[in-house]
């Protein structure tokens, strides 16, 4: 790990930040204003280019109404994404896209487990 470069954890936290911001339908400018930073800084956080310090992450969690642990969900005990393998970066890119966010938002609104399973089955059948 380089002393200055982003790590996979920084990128994971950034992806979770973008997902939550999008679910709240908050713009990067709005979030930046609430955090006292520019929208460009928010972009850098979301890409994992700039790390989010502990006190800033605590503030972000409060603004976004989630526990700090939300940003680390999906990491294993070693700090690696549980989405391992060559497709993990593609998956993060998809989740960060407008379509991925819309799909995640709509899917998370489905409370019935049976319906969720059927939606997954439908998507799998369409992707063949």
Query: Tens digits of per-residue pLDDT, 58-106?
Result: 999 999 999 999 999 888 766 555 444 445 566 667 766 788 878 887 8
112 three-class SS: coil
Check pLDDT > 50 for residue 3: yes
Q: How confident is the model at residue 1 (pLDDT cuts 50, 70, 90)?
A: very low
Among the CATH numbers 2.60.40.10, 1.20.58.1690, 1.10.8.60, 1.10.260.40, which is that of 8-84?
A: 1.10.260.40
* pTM for the model: 0.67
Each domain of the chain, given as residue ranges in start order, spans 8-84, 97-128
- The angle formed by the CA atoms of residues 84, 5 and 47, to the nearest 5 degrees, is 65
For the chain, what is the mean pLDDT?
84
Question: And the tokens for 123?
Answer: 């998507």
Give phi and psi for 75, each to the nearest 5.
-100, 145
Percent above pLDDT 90 for the chain: 43
Mean pLDDT of 36-63: 94
Residue 23 confidence (pLDDT) = 81
Report d(CA 23, CA 107) in Å as an integer: 11
Alpha-carbon distance of 75 to 13, in angstroms, equals: 10
């Amino acid at each position: 790990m380089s002393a200055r470069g982003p790590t996979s954890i920084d990128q994971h936290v950034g992806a979770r930040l973008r997902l939550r911001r999008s679910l709240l339908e908050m713009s990067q400018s709005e979030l930046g204003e609430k955090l006292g930073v520019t929208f460009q800084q928010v972009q850098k956080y979301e890409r994992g280019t700039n790390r989010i310090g502990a006190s800033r992450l605590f503030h972000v969690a409060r603004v976004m109404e989630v526990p700090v642990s939300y940003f680390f969900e999906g990491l294993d005990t070693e700090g690696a994404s549980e989405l391992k393998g060559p497709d993990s970066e593609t998956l993060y890119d998809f989740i960060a896209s407008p379509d991925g966010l819309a799909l995640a938002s709509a899917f998370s609104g489905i409370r019935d487990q049976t319906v969720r399973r059927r939606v997954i089955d439908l998507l799998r059948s369409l992707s063949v």
